[in-house]
Amino acid sequence: MALVVTPKQLSLRGELYHQLGAMLAAGLPLINTLESLHKNPPARSFRKPVAQLLARLDAGSTFTEAMLGTAGWLPSFDVALLEAGEQSGRLDACFKLLSGYYQERAQLARMAIAQLRYPLFVFHFAVLITPVPVLVRTGDLAGYLTQTIGILGPLYALAFLLVLACQGRHGETWRAFLEKVFRLVPFLGSARRHLALARLSAALEALLNAGVSIVNAWELAAVASGSPALRRAVSTWRPRIEEGGQPPSEILSESAEFPEMFANLYHTGEITGRLDDTLRRLHRYYQDEASRTLQLLAEWSPRLLYFAVVVMVAIQVVSFWTNYYEGIMNAFD
């Protein structure tokens, strides 16, 4: 994966999964589907990794093993969900889910960029223009560069470090630490949690419908959620389910990682025998909640940036008039 993923790249990946899901749903075998996609991919950059997939499949690898051999082309979330799809025999449904996920991410990214474009221009304009009167009066170019770069430099460095820190190639310890940090961020923390629960619900529904055992289904679905906290919580369930005979609904109600509503609805689906329908409802609910929260984040980010510009200009104005009056008082003294 690239260091910075653009909306276009997200949209192309969504289109890739859409084509794969559509051809599989139409009854085309996986090998033929990949061969067709290799000839006419959504982007030329997909030809090489698709060729690697085909080569590994021809050598006798499973689809999951083939994906793991593409040198980081697929994010860990995609691999985990598609592994669940392969085991459940519902690869087409998982491709469809990933297609919608990436298309929605691309749409949100475009909206965020569109809303942040003008505030970022205003912020840079304020940073670069505010010290100009002092530069004109004193001719101190070094002071002007120190002041402007002193503001923009650390912000650019912070943005770069955030992008680097959020890359999926880091280990689980680091991702677990980031998950704890992001939970403290308004909107972002709840959106990430809702997305993880939506992924888990979708993967779990696919696995259970395919006849995968309840313990294995939960463990695979927890990995597919992309949340280290959920994976760690579920990893302790096996002895209680297999040896203690406890159903997952009882363990869910005791876990702090799962919301009360999730546990209650899962329990209802378990006792009524309509768990698949319940999991589909949970997936839609948490997916919608995540989208709504991310839209709020995209709407509020420009406002916070405008507020930062106002504060910065206010500080400059106060500093100017303070220095001006101090100069007058010193002249009288």
Shared domain check, 166 and 29: no
**pLDDT category of residue 17 using cuts at 50, 70 and 90:** very high
Q: Rounded mean pLDDT of the chain? A: 84
State yes or no: pLDDT of 170 exceeds 70.
no
**What does the pLDDT average to over 242-265?**
89
Shared domain check, 86 and 44: no
Question: Considering 9, 40, 74, which residue would you say is the last residue of a domain?
Answer: 74
Q: What is the pLDDT of residue 169?
A: 57
Shared domain check, 308 and 248: yes
Q: What is the pLDDT of residue 293?
A: 87
Q: What is the pLDDT of residue 51?
A: 92
Counting the structural domains of the chain, the total is 2
Share of the chain above pLDDT 70, in %: 94
What is d(CA 117, CA 158) in angstroms, rounded to the nearest whole number?
Answer: 18
Q: What is the pLDDT of residue 4?
A: 59
**What does the pLDDT average to over 44-53?**
90
**pLDDT category of residue 172 using cuts at 50, 70 and 90:** low
Per-residue pLDDT reduced to its tens digit, 55-65: 999 998 888 88
Q: What is the pLDDT of residue 244?
A: 75
Shared domain check, 115 and 7: no
Per-residue pLDDT reduced to its tens digit, 96-109: 888 888 888 788 78
Shared domain check, 205 and 102: yes
Per-residue pLDDT reduced to its tens digit, 185-195: 888 888 889 98
Non-local CB neighbours of 296 within 8 Å, separated by 6+ positions: 187
State yes or no: pLDDT of 146 exceeds 60.
yes
- The torsion region of residue 167 among left (phi > 0), alpha (psi -120 to 50) and beta comes to beta
Question: Considering 74, 106, 125, which residue would you say is the last residue of a domain?
Answer: 74
Q: Which domain holds residue 129?
A: 76-333
The amino acid at 277: D
* CB atoms inside a 10 Å sphere around CB 58: 10
Shared domain check, 99 and 53: no
Per-residue pLDDT reduced to its tens digit, 55-99: 999 998 888 888 888 767 887 778 877 887 887 788 888 898 888
Q: Which residue has the higher pLDDT, 136 or 71?
A: 136
Shared domain check, 295 and 164: yes
Shared domain check, 119 and 11: no
Shared domain check, 159 and 172: yes
Shared domain check, 201 and 60: no
Q: What is the pLDDT of residue 305?
A: 76
- 43, 12 contact by CB (below 8 A): yes
Instruction: Give the CA dihedral 36, 39, 40, 44, nearest 10 degrees.
Output: 130
Q: What is the pLDDT of residue 286?
A: 92
Shared domain check, 268 and 188: yes
**pLDDT category of residue 158 using cuts at 50, 70 and 90:** confident
Q: What is the pLDDT of residue 85?
A: 82
**What does the pLDDT average to over 300-323?**
76
Q: Which residue has the higher pLDDT, 16 or 323?
A: 16
State yes or no: pLDDT of 294 exceeds 90.
no
Q: What is the pLDDT of residue 267?
A: 92
State yes or no: pLDDT of 167 exceeds 80.
no
Shared domain check, 285 and 231: yes
State yes or no: pLDDT of 225 exceeds 70.
yes
Question: Considering 47, 74, 101, which residue would you say is the last residue of a domain?
Answer: 74
Non-local CB neighbours of 93 within 8 Å, separated by 6+ positions: 21, 85, 206
Distance of CA 10 to the CA centre of its chain: 11
- 207, 88 contact by CB (below 8 A): yes
Q: What is the pLDDT of residue 148?
A: 87
Q: How many CA atoms lie within 13 A of 244 on its CB side?
A: 12
